[in-house]
Amino acid sequence: MNRIFLLATITSLFVLTGCGQQPSEKLLAYEENHEIIGTEKDEIIGEVSSTIYDTIDRSNSKATELIVGPITAQGEDIIPPEGRYMITAAENLTGKPQSGRVLIYDTDGVLLYETLLGMGGVDTVTVDLNGSHTVHFDGIDQAIITPVPTGISNELTAGIWEVGTDIEPGDYSITTESEFALGDLQLFEEGKSPRVFEFLNSNPETAVNIQLKEGQKLKIDNLSYLKFERVP
């Protein structure tokens, strides 16, 4: 769903509530914890690639740094070897910052991850690639795919992360430091329906409170950075 349209929908629900109408389940969920439910959530999530639940070899024994480019107007596809990678847009020949899309597909053509990379988007994307994922770039001249080590952190950037491997399980209050944030955190647990939490700005009142469990996957979409603070 177009995020501007979604924001307008939520705003209209608040207006209707102010006019005395009974708040809907969707509005109550959003008011309580900025969680998006129902058809709006389904449109954001789309078809889920089963590979989001995969666990890869994080030793990066097969991983290698790749420079992709020059990228043609039609875009460029590459299938990196298995590993944990950080994807960035390189400066173009003029030294100016770039802006373009990165899309990651599984072998069935199902989208695992998509975002705007570079100026106006996120700085980096960090993901597990299983050796069969196709990474597509368009709109930029050159990209760099770099193997990265695994470590526990309470500060996560755009990409896909695993609870227990990249962040400890537990209860967290989650915020973004960007005043102009407009993106979401998607929570995946195999056998359960995904959940979506939206971030609109850095106001502490917009913090999302969530319990993370071992093995869950976190997809950070259209947000460069999220801070996870442990709560009692």
In the chain, domain spans: 29-48+153-230, 59-147
6-11 mean pLDDT:
48
pTM equals: 0.88
Tell me the pLDDT tens digit for each residue of 152-162.
999 999 999 99
**CATH, domain 29-48+153-230, list 2.40.10, 2.60.120, 1.20.120, 1.10.10:** 2.60.120
Write out the DSSP string of the chain: --HHHHHHHHHHHHHHHHTTPPPPHHHHHHHHH-EE-HHHHHHHH-SPPGGGG----TT-SS---EEE-SPPTT-EEE-PPSEEEEEEEPP-TTS---EEEEEEE-TTS-EEEEEEEETTSBSEEEEEE-SS-EEEEESSS-EEEEE------SEEEEEEEEBTTTB-SEEEEEE---TT--EEEEEE-TTS--EEEEE-SS-GGG-EEEEE-TT-EEEEEEEEEEEEEE--
Fold that domain 59-147 belongs to in CATH: Jelly Rolls (2.60.120)
Two domains, one topology: 29-48+153-230 and 59-147: yes
Tell me the pLDDT tens digit for each residue of 52-65.
999 999 999 999 99
